[in-house]
């Protein structure tokens, strides 16, 4: 397991910044204070800048001339672009993966659903997002195609800051407070289809699941917020 940990200063910064963004500690649009962050992490500015270039290449942060790096804000059209890419990558990945899923995978996914149930009860968006990701990537990993899994991970990374916002907004707004429970129910249905080996139903449910996520995340973009 130790080999999976970042072993360079740049790797440490990438992991820490990505974690802060996913947790919502750094919200979309927030400026990344390079010197303060480097000091906090005990690294120099050189790996700090290299890490930011890496995250910019992933679309997680953006660079603004003379102003520095900011957590990426996704306009509505960018959300649509990302989800189009997700549909292409994930549908192929799922078609390859689902026939290869074994009992151990189903048991692991059932365990992730229990974590999600606790996260919904405790209104914990970070745990919900982590369990949700593990649930889906348990499927993806069975595709046997490391490139597809890597592309899927990059697309999820770009959207994770908005997932945090989406769950927090759901629990704050009266008419949306049941949505996390409905998302959990969708996961139950997906797992149920996999357990009875109904592959086409599982693929259909996964597609519908992506569509719901796209529709809700689009309401959280700067353009959507300004017009609401």
Instruction: List pLDDT tens digits, range 121-139.
Output: 888 888 888 899 999 999 9
Within a 10 A sphere around the Cβ of 195, how many other Cβ atoms?
14
CA pair distance 212, 22, nearest whole angstrom: 20
| pLDDT above 90 (res 70) | yes
CA pair distance 168, 172, nearest whole angstrom: 6
Considering the domain architecture, whether residues 170 and 81 belong to the same structural domain is answered as: yes
Considering the domain architecture, whether residues 58 and 80 belong to the same structural domain is answered as: no
Considering the domain architecture, whether residues 114 and 138 belong to the same structural domain is answered as: yes
Considering the domain architecture, whether residues 110 and 46 belong to the same structural domain is answered as: no
SS3 for 113-142, per residue?
HHHHHHHHHHCCHHHHHHHHHHHHHHHHHH
Check residues 75 and 5 and name the one with the higher pLDDT.
75
- Final residue of a structural domain among 54, 71, 88: 71
pLDDT of residue 180: 78
| DSSP bridge partners of 69 | 63
CA pair distance 82, 73, nearest whole angstrom: 13
- Final residue of a structural domain among 71, 88, 113: 71
CA pair distance 78, 210, nearest whole angstrom: 15
Based on the structure, what is the number of domains in the chain? 2
CA pair distance 116, 165, nearest whole angstrom: 17
Q: Where do the H-state alpha helices sit in 29-145?
A: 34-41, 45-57, 76-97, 103-122, 125-140
Considering the domain architecture, whether residues 65 and 80 belong to the same structural domain is answered as: no
**How far apart, in Å, are the Cα atoms of 53 and each of 36, 57, 147?**
17, 6, 21
Considering the domain architecture, whether residues 21 and 132 belong to the same structural domain is answered as: no
Considering the domain architecture, whether residues 102 and 61 belong to the same structural domain is answered as: no
| pLDDT above 50 (res 204) | yes
**Exposed, middle or buried, 210 (CB in 10 Å: 0-12/13-18/19+)?**
middle
Considering the domain architecture, whether residues 109 and 207 belong to the same structural domain is answered as: yes
Considering the domain architecture, whether residues 206 and 146 belong to the same structural domain is answered as: yes
Considering the domain architecture, whether residues 67 and 86 belong to the same structural domain is answered as: no
Q: For tokens 């249905």, name the residue.
A: 189
Residue 24 structure tokens:
């919502």
CA pair distance 15, 9, nearest whole angstrom: 10
Residue 25 structure tokens:
């500690």
CA pair distance 219, 76, nearest whole angstrom: 8
- Final residue of a structural domain among 19, 39, 71: 71
Range of the domain at 139: 76-227
Interval 201-212 mean pLDDT = 94
Q: Name the residue among 15, 85, 19 with its Cα closest to residue 54.
A: 15
* CATH number of the domain within which 13 lies: 1.10.10.10
* CATH number of the domain within which 82 lies: 1.20.120.530
pLDDT single digits (tens) 216-227 = 776 655 444 444
pLDDT of residue 45: 92
pLDDT single digits (tens) 12-64 = 898 889 888 777 788 778 899 999 999 999 999 999 999 999 988 877 888 99
Considering the domain architecture, whether residues 66 and 160 belong to the same structural domain is answered as: no
Considering the domain architecture, whether residues 61 and 108 belong to the same structural domain is answered as: no
């Amino acid at each position: 397991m130790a080999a999976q940990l970042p072993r360079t200063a740049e790797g440490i910064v990438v992991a820490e910044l990505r974690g802060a963004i996913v947790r919502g500690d750094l919200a979309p649009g927030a400026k990344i204070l390079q010197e303060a962050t480097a000091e906090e992490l005990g690294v120099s500015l050189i790996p700090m800048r290299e890490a930011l270039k890496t995250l910019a290449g992933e679309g997680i942060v953006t660079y603004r001339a003379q102003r520095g790096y900011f957590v990426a804000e996704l306009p509505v059209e960018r959300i649509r672009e990302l989800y189009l890419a997700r549909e292409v990558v994930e549908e192929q990945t799922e078609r390859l993966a689902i026939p290869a899923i074994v009992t151990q995978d189903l048991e692991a996914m059932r365990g992730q659903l229990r974590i999600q149930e606790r996260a919904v009860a405790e209104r914990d968006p970070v745990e919900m997002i982590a369990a949700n990701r593990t649930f889906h990537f348990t499927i993806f990993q069975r595709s046997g195609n490391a490139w597809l899994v890597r592309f899927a991970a990059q697309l999820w990374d770009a959207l994770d800051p908005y997932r945090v916002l989406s769950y927090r907004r759901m629990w704050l707004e009266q008419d949306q407070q049941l949505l996390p429970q409905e998302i959990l129910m969708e996961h139950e249905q997906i797992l149920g289809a996999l357990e009875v080996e109904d592959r086409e139903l599982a693929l259909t449910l996964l597609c519908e699941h992506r569509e719901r996520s796209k529709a809700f995340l689009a309401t959280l973009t700067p353009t959507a917020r300004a017009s609401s």
